[in-house]
């Protein structure tokens, strides 16, 4: 199985052969010659801003890129890619920098292509289709589209970027009704490795259309997403918080929700739970972002038996998502996501909580600033039915499989010297959870791309193992020279 670090090494080897420091610098110079006001070098304010606006400090690389290119539209990128290719320059592409994998949206001694200025916001005359630029955040999108009484299947954390979310599939509060966020995309505008601007939809380049729904950045640079909007009215939602005295209320409610009839099969309910563990004390607190698509809040009643605080009320969807603007923004911390999946059940919830809490207290209590968050993401079979009804995607989970619990295990810490310790701990605790789940027949082979940790390999698990060969064929058709595999070395690669 070809992991991300193997591909990165291939790119590194290639760079020693074709991408000398002189060529790298000439790549920046060639771009600057063509785009005088869109190339930024160290020492400029724009360079400093573009190279530091990541969710986690742990993905900010040093010394960083040789220069930053900030294109304004698809034509700029179509002009730039052949320049980068001809100079053998390595590069990275960044939307809003929420992925926690080093090098996925950052680079050392290469060129950072920052999509910050691609900010299209347009809606069709009937308000059915919205056109979104990859430089936008969902906070901007939600506030804009609410004016039309419409909603888009986007991120649960409003500061997340449009581009990475959709290309990775996209878990949304609206997923039980409409599937992955990517399933609402009706057209991608893409700049290919050769510098061609093409459209990918059901009738034009349909193979690429399928591959981009979960296939990441392996095929080109997407410069516009045309997405289906949906009607919206008043919803019931907010954040319910728990302290150590009542956190067991949320735990029991999650156990109930995980079972058929307990909530996971209610398509109108969406939630994002977080159980926070302090390894130094073993103490737990929790918060739930809970949502019901309508005015009835009774679907969340199990979570409101006892709590420390709540903002849940009747409101617009945009207002509800706005609460996450602070929680999901850029942090002055080191942090990483880690994904593993199981069949959803009350037993699964207990297994995860017991294992992670015990291991965190035993092994991370002396790590400065350490916080571990258990974030179970419940994906019922109606999610995957909706995904297939929309036309399908590369992820292609069979709805006849059991309801899933896709765990995002989030770690935060203070010091760079603890990076390896945290990574080793995560690897160990995931293996222990999988071993226990195997004994109970609760494992499920799936890694959600947007929560994947460095070194994991999500694509061979897509479609029960059937999507990878097709994804590779699509990649070879649209990137025959392997530019997005070798010259763009970061992120998760498809391999040969």
Topology of domain 121-232, per CATH?
3.30.465
Check residues 2 and 356 and name the one with the higher pLDDT. 356
Mean pLDDT, rounded, of the chain: 93
Any idea which residue has 């990859």 for tokens? 134
Same fold, 4-115+470-487 and 235-315+345-379+403-443: no
pLDDT tens-digit series, residues 153-179 = 999 999 999 999 999 999 999 999 999
Decide if pLDDT at 242 tops 50: yes
CA distance 75 to 274: 42
Q: CB-hemisphere CA count at 13 Å for 340?
A: 22
Pairing of strands 185-191, 235-242: unpaired
Q: With the C-alpha atoms ordered 123, 124, 130, 136, is the resulting torsion angle positive or negative?
A: negative
Confidence of residue 365 (pLDDT cuts 50, 70, 90): very high
Whether 457 has a pLDDT exceeding 60, the answer reads yes
**Cα angle, residue 231 at apex, residues 225 and 233 outer, rounded to 5°:** 130
Reported as a pLDDT band with limits 50, 70 and 90, residue 332 is confident
**Mean pLDDT of all residues in 9-33:** 57
Q: What is the structure's pLDDT at 328?
A: 52
* pLDDT at residue number 325: 77
pLDDT at position 329 is 55
DSSP 8-state secondary structure symbol assigned to residue 483: I
Place of tokens 């690389």: 61
**Residue 231: strand, helix, or coil:** strand
CA triplet 65, 71, 77: central angle to 5 degrees?
95
Q: What is the pLDDT of residue 316?
A: 96
Instruction: Name the pLDDT band for 324 (thresholds 50, 70, 90).
Output: confident
pLDDT at 262: 92
Question: Of 117-126, 324-333, 334-343, 486-495, which range is least confident?
Answer: 324-333
Over 60: is that where the pLDDT of 240 sits? yes
**Which pLDDT score, from 0 to 100, does residue 14 have?**
38
* Contacts for 435 with CB less than 8 Å, ≥ 6 apart: none
**What percent of the chain clears pLDDT 90, i.e. is strictly above it?**
89
**pLDDT above 70 for 10:** no
Domains of the chain, residue spans: 4-115+470-487, 121-232, 235-315+345-379+403-443
Mean pLDDT of 435-450: 98
Q: Two tokens at 149? A: 């009484």
The whole-number pLDDT of residue 33 equals 95
319 and 335 Cβ atoms separated by less than 8 Å? no
pLDDT (0 to 100) of residue 15: 39
pLDDT value of residue 468:
98
Domain at 4-115+470-487: CATH code: 3.30.43.10
Q: Is pLDDT at 20 greater than 70 in this prediction?
A: no
User: What would the mean pLDDT of 2-24 be, rounded to a whole number?
Assistant: 38
DSSP-assigned beta bridge partners for residue 137: 161
**What's phi and psi for 181, nearest 5 deg?**
-55, -40
Q: Which CATH class is domain 235-315+345-379+403-443?
A: alpha beta
Mean pLDDT value across residues 448-452 = 97
**Alpha carbon of 358 to those of 131, 247, 281, 339: distances in Å?**
47, 16, 11, 19
Q: Give per-residue pLDDT as tens, 55-93.
A: 899 999 999 999 999 999 999 999 999 999 999 999 999
- Contact call for residues 88 and 109 (beta carbons, < 8 A): no
Residue 288 · residue 320 · CB < 8 Å: no
Cα separation values, 161 from 97, 286, 358, 404, 483, Å: 7, 25, 34, 25, 24
Q: What is the pLDDT of residue 330?
A: 64
């Amino acid at each position: 199985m070809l992991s991300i670090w193997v591909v990165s090494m291939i790119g590194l080897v290639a760079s020693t052969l074709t991408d000398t420091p002189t060529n790298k610098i000439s790549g920046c110079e060639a771009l600057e010659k063509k785009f005088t006001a869109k190339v930024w070098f160290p020492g400029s304010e724009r360079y400093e801003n573009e190279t530091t606006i990541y969710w986690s400090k742990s993905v900010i690389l040093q010394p960083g890129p040789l220069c930053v290119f900030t294109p304004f539209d698809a034509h700029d990128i179509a002009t730039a890619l052949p320049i980068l290719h001809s100079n053998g320059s390595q590069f990275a592409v960044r939307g809003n920098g929420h992925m926690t994998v080093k090098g996925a949206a950052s680079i050392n001694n290469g060129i950072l292509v920052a999509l910050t200025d691609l900010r299209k916001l347009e809606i069709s005359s009937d308000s059915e289709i919205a056109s979104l630029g990859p430089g936008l955040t969902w906070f901007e999108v939600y506030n804009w589209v609410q004016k039309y009484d419409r909603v888009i299947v986007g991120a649960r954390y409003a500061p997340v970027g449009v581009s990475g979310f959709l290309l990775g599939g996209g878990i949304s509060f609206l997923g039980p009704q409409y599937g992955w966020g990517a399933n609402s995309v009706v057209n991608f505008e893409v700049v290919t490795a050769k510098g061609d601007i093409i459209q990918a939809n059901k009738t034009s380049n349909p193979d690429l259309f399928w591959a981009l729904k979960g296939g990441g950045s392996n095929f080109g640079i997407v410069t516009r997403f045309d997405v289906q909007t949906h009607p919206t009215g008043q919803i019931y939602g907010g954040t319910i918080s728990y302290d150590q005295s009542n956190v067991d209320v949320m735990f029991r409610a999650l156990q109930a929700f995980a079972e058929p009839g307990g909530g996971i099969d209610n398509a109108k309910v969406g939630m994002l739970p977080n159980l926070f563990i302090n390894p130094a004390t073993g103490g737990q607190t929790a918060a739930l972002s809970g949502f019901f698509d309508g005015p009835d809040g009774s679907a969340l009643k199990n979570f409101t038996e006892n709590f420390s605080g709540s903002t849940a009320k009747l409101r617009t969807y945009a207002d509800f998502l706005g609460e996450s603007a602070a929680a999901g923004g850029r942090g002055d911390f080191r942090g990483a996501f880690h994904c593993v999946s199981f069949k959803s059940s009350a037993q699964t919830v207990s297994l995860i909580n017991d294992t992670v809490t015990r291991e965190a207290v035993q092994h991370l209590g002396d790590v400065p600033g350490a916080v571990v968050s258990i974030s179970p993401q419940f994906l019922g079979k109606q999610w995957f039915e909706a995904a297939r009804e929309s036309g399908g995607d590369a992820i292609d989970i069979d709805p006849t499989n059991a309801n899933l619990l896709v765990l995002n295990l989030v770690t935060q810490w203070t010091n760079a010297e603890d990076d390896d310790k945290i990574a080793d701990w995560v690897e160990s605790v995931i293996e222990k959870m999988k071993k226990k789940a195997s004994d109970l027949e609760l494992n499920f082979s799936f890694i959600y791309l947007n929560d994947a940790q460095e070194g994991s390999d999500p694509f061979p698990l897509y479609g029960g193992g059937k999507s990878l060969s097709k994804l590779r064929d699509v990649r070879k058709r649209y990137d025959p020279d392997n530019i997005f595999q070798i010259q763009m070395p970061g992120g998760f690669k498809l391999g040969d």
